[in-house]
Amino acid sequence: MFDIQNEYYVTKGVQEAVPYQLQYFCWQLILQRAKEKDPTMDYLQIIEFELDTEHELLTIVQRQEKPEVKQIYHLHLFEEYRSLSVKKIWAIDDGQVQTMLLPEEY
């Protein structure tokens, strides 16, 4: 699951709602996990965003359901992320291509 050799796609909803730098960062998180030794990756990776303007943080939770894995990252809240209205994106690997999409686009 999730191989750097496969093709990557991003839906129109993600292109319009998620800054490119954040899309790239999320792909990197997924690929980093895939590189781990014996990474038991689920075909569905769930990425959740939480803005904390008071502390200038963007919290990113990367998780999967089977087996259950959850990783949390904190980023500085850059200006281009302040208007982020998306709370969750999915990355799906169907074995040939990998697609990042909004849950409502499924």
> Which CATH number applies to 7-105?
3.10.450.150
Query: For the sheet containing 44-52, what is the strand order?
Result: 7-10, 97-101, 88-93, 44-52, 57-64, 69-76
Give strand pairing partners of 100: 10, 91
Query: In the chain, pLDDT over 70 holds for what percent of residues?
Result: 97
The model's pTM is 0.92
Per-residue pLDDT band for 39 (boundaries 50, 70, 90) equals low
Q: Where are the domains of the chain?
A: 7-105
Q: Which residues of 67-93 are buried (b: 16+ CB within 10 A; e: fewer)?
A: eeeeeeeeeebeeebeebebeebbbbb
| 51 CB neighbour count, 10 Å cutoff | 17
Per-residue pLDDT band for 74 (boundaries 50, 70, 90) equals very high
Q: How far is CA 27 from the centre of its chain?
A: 6
Mean pLDDT on 37-53? 90
Nearest to 49 by CA among 24, 15, 74: 74
